[in-house]
Structure 1
Amino acid sequence: MSELVAADLGLVLVSVVVFLCAGFIKGLVGFGLPTIGLGLMTVFVGVEKAMVLILWPAFLTNFWQGLLGGHLKVLVPRLWPFLVSAVLMLGAGTLILTRLPEGAADLLLGALMIAYALPMLAGAVLTLAESRIVPVGIVVGLVNGVLAGLTGSYTVPGVMYLQAMGLPRDQLIQAMGLLFLLSTLALGASLGGFGLVGGREALASLALVVPALSGVWAGQHLRRRVSEAVFRKLVLAAILMLGLYLVPLGLWRLGA
């Protein structure tokens, strides 16, 4: 009995540290909480339970980021085709998740992140003409929805698309928050539809909001001290590091 209690306390401590760190990264660059939280917690509780654990922290941090930035009137008219496409396809990704070998989605997502971040850090510039924002956004949204359902991460290729639009820092942060908020709601509905949301994990997810929001607050405090140029490099560096983290994780899970 004492060993069981110790194991539960150890898992609680690990969960708090994971979501505190994941929240800090999100506060600093605007994303990363689901990817980091899911990737690390999968090691301890498995991918399906880990996807449930991220729901409440992701929802509330993204609610904060997506709705309270002051740019909704500018962003929604430009982004709604992209956002709707991303939400509509997320259920398809969750369905595929139930059929793919564990780790395959992480490997794919990590490779895409690395392939994008390396040339951009080397000086490549990805831009979109205004006339192409809607058609490209629909395609990117469809792909983003599938990958979000597969991996629980809403980053690729949605963040790349938003960066290519050339949004100022505060608008970019809020646009990412809108994408992540809607994707979190769709993921929760999709997981529930497939019977993957358990009561115990849902309560644990709600409790993990506290360390997640604390991390976001600390990350935001640091972000306000960096310039626009440094911020964009931080975003690319974060994408690269997440990719370098996901590729070996995917390989490990495929071989487990």
Structure 2
Amino acid sequence: MTDLSTSTLFALFATFFAAGAVKGVTGMGLPTVAMGILGSLLSPLAAASLLIIPSFVTNVWQLLAGPSFIGIVRRLWTMMAGVVAGTLSSAYMLTGADTRLSTFLLGLSLTVYAVYTLFAKPYHVSPRHERWLSPILGTATGFVAGATGVFVIPAVPYVQALGFDKDDLVQALGLSFTVSTVALAIGLAIQGAFHLDGMTLSALAVVPALIGMWAGQYIRRAVTPAMFKRCFLTALALLGAEMMLRGVW
């Protein structure tokens, strides 16, 4: 990635600013938006590599900001173990030579997430089912993350259904995203795709991501989060559909 043009570098930084702004308004979405936009400019593998450090920094911030870290870890540790196992088992798909497959899968995961979030009705998971569902859905999340670099499906709908209050929900999602990011980095390293030059650019991308998060706080005052989220999810669904078509053709 050392030979990127000035225009490409500008696009990368603009992408992370936009992704940070979405996270600032909605409390989530930085990895998803970044993978969606970068996946249309670069290979999914290159996009996922650039995502590692900005995702880690912003999600650790989100994870440590809440009051219930230990309790949330105790409740979700089996899900997190599944995330790690699933990611490590599927990372070879993201690093494979066939970029069309990874592009199609990335587009599919973005489209499914956007459409589900737009139209699905809220539901609640009973505590008696949580013990066996957590490792299964954690593993499924990891498998999707390892194959596409996106770790919101099915983790986000599942965690939202566990009945956390508002602050604990934000912290629980921060835990899931942080573990997913670390597991993805380990998976890429095992596959020999974790390069220091890419990490330098990834580290620099933290700056526009944090500025974007700060700007998102101001955007929230001008546009309701619900309206902003609908517009962003609609755009994400269209972007995912385009990537699916590109992966097929």
TM range (shorter): 0.7 to 0.9
In structure 1, C-alpha distance between the alignment counterparts of 2:70 and 2:10, rounded to whole Å: 41
CA–CA distance in structure 2, aligned partners of residues 219 and 175 of structure 1? 21
User: Unpaired segments of 5 or more residues in structure 1?
Assistant: none
Aligned position for 1:243: 237
1:208 is aligned with what amino acid?
A
2:190 is the alignment partner of 1:193: yes
Cα separation, partners in 2 of 1:237 and 1:148, compared to 1, 3 Å: farther
* Paired letter, 2:248: L
Q: Which residue of 2 aligns with 1:116?
A: 116
SS at 1:54's partner residue?
A: helix
- Write out aligned runs for 1:47-86 (5 A): 47-86=44-83
Tell me: CA distance 1:15–1:118, structure 2 relative to 1, closer, same or farther (3 Å).
closer
State the one-letter code of the partner of 2:51. I
The amino acid of 2:242's aligned partner reads: P
- State yes or no: 1:202 paired with 2:196: no
Shift of 1:185: 0.7
Aligned length: 244
How much is the aligned-residue C-alpha RMSD, in angstroms?
Answer: 2.5
State the TM-score, normalized to the length of structure 2: 0.87
Do the aligned partners of 1:114 and 1:244 also contact (CA within 8 Å) in 2?
A: no
Whole-angstrom distance in 1 between the partners of 2:163 and 2:228: 16
Matching residue of 1:170: 167
What residue is the counterpart of 1:87 in the other structure?
Answer: 84
- Give the partner amino acid of 1:143: A
Alpha-carbon offset, residue 61 of structure 1: 0.5
Residue 21 (structure 1) aligns with: 18
Helix, strand or coil: the match of 2:240? helix
Match among 140, 143, 150 for residue 143 of structure 1: 140
Contact 2:49 2:194 in 1 (8 A): yes
2:211: which partner in 1? 214
User: In the alignment, is the contact (CA less than 8 A) between 1:88 and 1:142 conserved in 2?
Assistant: yes
Shift of 1:114: 4.5
Is residue 133 of structure 1 aligned with residue 127 of structure 2?
Answer: no
In structure 2, list runs of 5 or more residues that go unmatched.
none
For the residue of structure 2 that corresponds to 1:43, the secondary structure is coil
- Residue 154 of structure 1: aligned partner: 151
How far apart, CA to CA, are the structure 2 residues paired with 1:70 and 1:133? Answer: 22
Q: 2:131 & 2:219 partners in 1: Cα distance?
A: 33
C-alpha distance in structure 2 between counterparts of 1:93 and 1:107, whole Å: 17
Whole-angstrom distance in 2 between the partners of 1:87 and 1:62: 16
Query: Which AA in structure 2 matches 1:103?
Result: T
Partner SS for 1:44: coil
Are the equivalent residues in 2 in contact too, given 1:31–1:155 (CA < 8 A)? no
Query: Structure 2 vs 1, CA of residues 44 and 108 (structure 1 numbering), >3 Å: closer, same or farther?
Result: closer
Distance 1:210 1:253 in 2: 31
> In 2 relative to 1, CA 102–79 (structure 1 residues): closer, same or farther, beyond 3 Å?
closer
TM-score (ref. length: structure 1): 0.85
> Which region of structure 1 is more displaced relative to structure 2, 238-247 or 33-42?
238-247
1:158, 1:95 → 2: CA distance? 21
Return the alpha-carbon distance in structure 1 between the equivalents of residues 116 and 226 of structure 2: 14
Once the two structures are overlaid, the 10-residue window that deviates more, 204-213 or 66-75, is 66-75
Cα distance in 1 for partners of 2:232, 2:123 equals: 17
Alignment of 1:7-18 (within 5 A): 8-18=5-15
Contact 2:83 2:141 in 1 (8 A): yes
Q: Relative to structure 1, is the Cα distance of residues 37 and 125 closer, same or farther in structure 2, using a 3 angstrom cutoff?
A: closer
Quote the Cα distance in structure 2 between the aligned partners of 1:219 and 1:93: 33
Q: How much has 1:221 moved relative to structure 2?
A: 5.3
